[in-house]
Amino acid sequence: MPQNAPIQDPTPANPVPIKLTTSFTSELSADKSQSTMPRQVAGAAFSRTNPATFSQPTLVSWNADLASQLGLEELTNEPAYAANVFSGQRLLEGSDPYAMAYGGHQFGNWAGQLGDGRAIALGDVTQADGTLRTLQLKGAGPTPYSRRADGLAVLRSSIREYLASEAMFHLGVPTTRALSLVLTGDQVLRDMLYDGNPALEPGAIVCRTAESFIRFGNFELPTSRGDIDQLRELADYTIRHHFGHLSDAQNPTAETYVEWFEEICQSTAKLMVDWLRVGFVHGVMNTDNMSIHGITIDYGPYGWVDDFDPAWTPNTTDSTHRRYRFGNQGAVGQWNVLQLANALVPLVEETTALEKAVNDYVPTFKSLHQAMMADKIGLQYSPASEDTDIVEELLQILASTETDMTIFYRRLATIDADTKDPLNAISDAYYDQTTLVGETRERINNWMQSYQKLLPTVGSDAAAQRTTLMNSVNPCYVLRNYLAQETIDAATEGDFSRMDQLAKVLENPYEQQAGAEKFAEKRPDWARNRAGCSMLSCSS
């Protein structure tokens, strides 16, 4: 296991004038020990932890557009220096590396202390608009929260994190973002399938960014220990820095905490609907992987559904009970906000308002989901709409035979009120067209007839608007698991050109791109059950 590197220079000479700030470490209680030995850390929001030393950091991917937004554009011309900074070998001025303490419910069970086991935050950069973004290295070495692990990450998981977060951003789904991907030059031992056959893999580090990486579990841990002072300190800090628009944000009251929690419930419901819209399955919706900002964090065994299957999970660990399956994500979102509500009870004492916010999650999710589905099929939505039956019937039909979700909705936009054979127009969305017979075929045709009756007159402005709307919410390109795996296979052989090409296509997911047809194709049959293309483990 690599040793954590000492800070080489507290104020290093930078080739560019970049300075970080670290309010998290300056305003919250710190772990009194400097040891990185795995242990229980009490009475602290974080532990100061330096990144490990690596043999040969090499920058293999750099997000120049994001770097510009973060005020780091001058590092674009300093790849060697950037590799050292974003592997933790060289610290920018003002950096104060730390790992957060948090707990969490994993697969519905309280797991106790978890924390940043392989993530080390460097500090915050100030964007041009004055907002702050935290820079965090994933895979930079052991921390007190690493438990039995080494705190490292491998190339395959790092590529998946980099590509997925950027794909989600360009899809319009709230998410962390990836700034850089660095090869460490070292090998990491991993048992990818948990089958007793570990192998050495290339080590890598992703620098990811977010407004903050504070999770539901950050608040669960102090409450579980009865440390209400620690809970209040963290809640007040979070509201003061990240929810300053709330009433009494600088000196929160019980009403402020409730208002804050209500906002988290609403943003979480919206995020779940966004995931369903693009066919994304997180795979590990534990409370320690849920952001208080309503953004997608911690890309582990995630996946985009190929054939529409509400029961599908990309996580081998979840293959038996399928708690985090595609169609259950909305319900799990509510379960998770309930656990956060339980953690916040000591701050508000009277629980009625918290209970109401948790209960309000359901109608919020339902309303957002109905509006989203209306957009996906190009129909006008109102709360009193009578078109919910046609949506429910469609979802059942999609699940009844292997239907590529992404392709189906794109093809549906080509159908109008006068299309004579609508089933033929969408036929390439089906994995096995021989199943389109008998009752299945009749059911699809009946649905299409009902649907066409609701469509606007051909050639009208409304018809054109419908197509535009549908193509703005139904992507043409998503990060299919097999595409990610092909990219990983090439990169493992030293070829990162495919990663660059795929990342470029995913920057514009709603527009058909010349020469990018292969990135919009159905999952090939060879990928149906291949490791990395269908289901994945939590192994990094």
pLDDT surpasses 90 at 489: yes
pLDDT surpasses 60 at 13: no
Mean pLDDT value across the chain: 94
Per-residue pLDDT, averaged over 478-487, amounts to: 96
pLDDT given for residue 313 in this prediction = 96
pLDDT given for residue 197 in this prediction = 82
pLDDT given for residue 11 in this prediction = 40
pLDDT given for residue 345 in this prediction = 98
DSSP per residue, 42-65:
-S-SEEE-PPBP-S--EEEEE-HH
pLDDT given for residue 510 in this prediction = 98
Per-residue pLDDT, averaged over 153-180, amounts to: 98
pLDDT in tens, 80-107: 999 999 999 999 999 999 999 999 999 9
Measured between alpha carbons, how far is residue 94 from residues 9, 14, 22, 88, 389 in Å? 11, 12, 7, 13, 57
**DSSP alpha helices (H): ranges in 86-227?**
155-171, 216-224
Q: Which amino acid is at 469?
A: L
pLDDT given for residue 381 in this prediction = 78
pLDDT given for residue 525 in this prediction = 94
**Which is more confident, 16 or 468?**
468
Of the given ranges (254-263, 341-350, 376-385, 387-396), which has the lowest mean pLDDT?
376-385
| Two tokens, residue 319 | 């293959």
Sequence-distant (≥ 6) Cβ neighbours of residue 46 within 8 angstroms? 24, 25, 28, 30, 31, 98, 99, 100, 101
Q: How confident is the model at residue 4 (pLDDT cuts 50, 70, 90)?
A: low
**Which is more confident, 129 or 398?**
398
Per-residue pLDDT, averaged over 512-528, amounts to: 95
Neighbours of 414 (CB within 10 A): 13
Q: How far apart are CA 189 and CA 378, in angstroms?
A: 49
Per-residue pLDDT, averaged over 309-336, amounts to: 96
Which of 124, 150, 288, 306 is catalytic? The answer is: 288
Tokens 């054939």 belong to: 307
pLDDT in tens, 179-196: 999 999 999 998 877 778
pLDDT surpasses 80 at 294: yes
| Residue 95 φ/ψ region, left for φ over 0, alpha for ψ in the -120 to 50 degree band, beta for the rest | beta
Please list the residues that pair with 52 across neighbouring strands: 4
Per-residue pLDDT, averaged over 275-301, amounts to: 97
pLDDT given for residue 537 in this prediction = 75
Per-residue pLDDT, averaged over 42-71, amounts to: 96
pLDDT surpasses 80 at 212: yes
Please list the residues that pair with 117 across neighbouring strands: none
**Which is more confident, 303 or 193?**
303
**∠ CA 418-421-427, rounded to 5°:** 130
Q: How confident is the model at residue 8 (pLDDT cuts 50, 70, 90)?
A: very low
pLDDT given for residue 184 in this prediction = 98
pLDDT surpasses 80 at 385: no
| Residue 378 φ/ψ region, left for φ over 0, alpha for ψ in the -120 to 50 degree band, beta for the rest | left
Q: How far apart are CA 133 and CA 122, in angstroms?
A: 11
pLDDT in tens, 24-42: 999 999 999 989 999 999 9
pLDDT given for residue 520 in this prediction = 97
Q: What spatial distance separates the first Cα and last Cα of the chain, rounded to whole Å?
A: 15
| Two tokens, residue 148 | 């039995």
Q: How far apart are CA 43 and CA 289, in angstroms?
A: 22
Helix, strand and coil percent figures for the chain, each rounded to 5? 45, 15, 40
The yes-or-no answer on residue 288 being catalytic is: yes
**pTM (predicted TM-score):** 0.95
pLDDT in tens, 429-482: 999 999 999 999 999 999 999 999 999 988 899 999 999 999 999 999 999 999
Q: Helices 388-400 and 438-453: crossing angle, nearest 10°?
A: 150
pLDDT given for residue 497 in this prediction = 96
Q: How far apart are CA 217 and CA 340, in angstroms?
A: 8
Q: How far apart are CA 155 and CA 65, in angstroms?
A: 22
pLDDT given for residue 453 in this prediction = 94
